[in-house]
């Protein structure tokens, strides 16, 4: 049977030039490199300067993805930007990225699922592409979390970084088997009862301010390891694949211990796990496309590989997608 599949045809990323190490942070709050590395695996993060807004980083990442795909602005008819740190309340960051790239056709919108935003973005773009509503989509995760951190709060400010990553998805005719390239499936979940474990204490419709990130780290940790593996199990079941067949596991990069515990629980070998949290910190919706770009550029991810992306974020929101690269 001939069906449409959303095939990854390019990826790119962008990181601010400024690198901040754990030792740099230890001069600002009561913390240490040893504590941060032991609890999270993070050694450094990139932080944006005042000129580097989310759309600036997003435009750079998308430009790199378009170059990688050998495509131009005229080829894209959908831009989805996953972000929790938009330049402005409106217009959407996606429209600013669209304009910055010189794309004047199709639709562009932001998608808000916090750290799960990129997986939500891939799942959403896949629906547009496989139903024939769009032909080629840029899915970008772009964040400047440094702007919503409480820099006096050592329990959160050491965890996050800034950056952006993007992929180009193209609708292609496919025989539709699990061996054919493209997004095989995506499973999304959310449960708003967990709001108070990870949230921002402000917003345009409540305080009229941007607010700061607040988190009960232990509760998030417990949920991330204990519950979110359901979507990964779903992805394997729906595609008829298994952990043994997986080539690369590219999870949201929040914490090395969460990632390794989840991989162990699912029977995914440690050497198949792509880890960038040491270099990037938690860049929220940008973390997966940043990691995909690293593993693609260093030669690990090759065409035809089976790649699982997975994330959990505030809400809680969570999801997984299985991609034949």
> What does the binding site for ligand COA look like in residue numbers (CB under 6 A)?
31, 35, 39-40, 115, 154-155, 158, 215, 217-218, 220-221, 254-255, 258, 282, 312-313
Using the minimum distance from each CB to ligand COA, give the nearer residue, 54 or 284.
284
Which one of the listed residues 11, 62, 81, 115 is annotated catalytic? 115
Crossing angle of helices 256-266 and 229-239, in 10° steps, is 40
Asked if 66 and 12 count as a contact pair (C-beta separation under 8 A), the reply is yes
Q: How far is the CB of 169 from ligand COA (least distance, A)?
A: 24
Cβ-based nearer residue to ligand COA, 109 or 221:
221
The question of whether 62 is a catalytic residue gets the answer no
Task: Please say which residue, 31 or 227, places its beta carbon nearer to ligand COA.
Answer: 31
The least distance separating ligand COA from the CB of residue 174, rounded to whole angstroms, comes to 33
Catalytic annotation present for 252: yes
- Active-site residue, from 62, 252, 255, 280: 252
CB nearer to ligand COA: pick between 21 and 239: 21
Nearer to ligand COA, 31 or 133 (CB): 31
Distance CA 12, CA 172 (A): 21
CB 304 within 8 A of CB 284: no
> Would the CA dihedral through 293, 296, 302, 307 be positive or negative?
negative
**Whose CA is closest to 42, among 20, 63, 60?**
20
Query: Cα–Cα distance between 253 and 275 in angstroms, integer?
Result: 7
CB of 142 to ligand COA, least distance (A): 16
8 Å CB contact between 254 and 277: yes
Q: How far is the CB of 251 from ligand COA (least distance, A)?
A: 11
**Which of 22, 185, 255, 282 is labelled catalytic?**
282
Question: CB of 313: closest distance to ligand COA in angstroms?
Answer: 5
Question: Terminus-to-terminus CA distance in the chain, angstroms?
Answer: 20
Query: Closest distance between ligand COA and the C-beta of residue 159, in Å?
Result: 6
Q: Are 163 and 57 a contacting pair, CB within 8 Å?
A: yes
Backbone angles phi, psi at 157, to 5 degrees: -70, -20
* Closer CB to ligand COA, 78 or 158, in the complex: 158
The residue number whose beta carbon is nearest to ligand COA equals: 217
Q: Which residues contact 67 (CB under 8 A, 6 or more apart)?
A: 10, 12
Catalytic, 46? Answer no
Residue 298 has a CB neighbour count (10 Å cut-off) of: 9
Q: Which residues 6+ apart lie within 8 Å of 145 measured at CB?
A: 84, 85, 160, 161, 162, 213, 282, 283, 284
Active site residues: 115, 252, 282
């Amino acid at each position: 049977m001939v069906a449409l599949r959303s095939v990854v045809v390019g990826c790119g990323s962008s990181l601010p030039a400024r690198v901040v190490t754990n030792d740099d942070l230890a001069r600002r709050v009561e913390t240490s490199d040893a504590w941060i590395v032991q609890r999270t695996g993070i050694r450094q993060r990139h932080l944006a300067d005042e000129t580097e807004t989310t759309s600036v980083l997003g435009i750079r990442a998308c430009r790199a993805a378009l170059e990688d795909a050998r495509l131009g602005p005229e080829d894209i008819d959908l831009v989805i930007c996953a972000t929790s740190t938009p330049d402005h309340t409106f217009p959407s960051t996606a429209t600013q990225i669209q304009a910055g790239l010189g794309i004047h056709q199709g639709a562009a919108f932001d998608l808000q699922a916090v750290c799960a935003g990129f997986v939500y973005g891939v799942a959403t773009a896949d629906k547009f592409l496989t139903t024939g509503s769009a032909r080629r989509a840029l899915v970008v995760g772009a964040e400047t979390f440094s702007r919503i951190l409480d820099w006096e709060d050592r329990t959160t400010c050491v965890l996050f970084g800034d950056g952006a990553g993007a992929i180009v998805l193209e609708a292609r005719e496919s025989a539709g088997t699990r061996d054919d390239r493209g997004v095989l499936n995506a499973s999304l979940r959310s449960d708003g009862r967990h709001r108070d474990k990870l949230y921002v204490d402000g917003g345009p419709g409540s305080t009229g301010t941007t607010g700061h990130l607040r988190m009960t780290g232990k509760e998030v940790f417990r949920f991330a390891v204990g519950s979110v593996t359901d979507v990964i199990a779903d992805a394997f079941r729906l595609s008829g694949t298994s952990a043994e067949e997986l080539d690369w596991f590219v999870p949201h990069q929040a914490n090395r211990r969460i990632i390794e515990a989840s991989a162990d629980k699912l029977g995914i070998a440690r050497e198949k796990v792509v880890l960038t949290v040491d270099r990037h910190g938690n860049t929220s919706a940008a973390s997966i496309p940043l990691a995909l770009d690293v593993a693609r550029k260093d030669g690990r991810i090759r065409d035809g590989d089976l790649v699982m992306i997975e994330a959990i974020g505030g809400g809680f929101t969570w999801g997984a997608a299985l991609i034949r690269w």
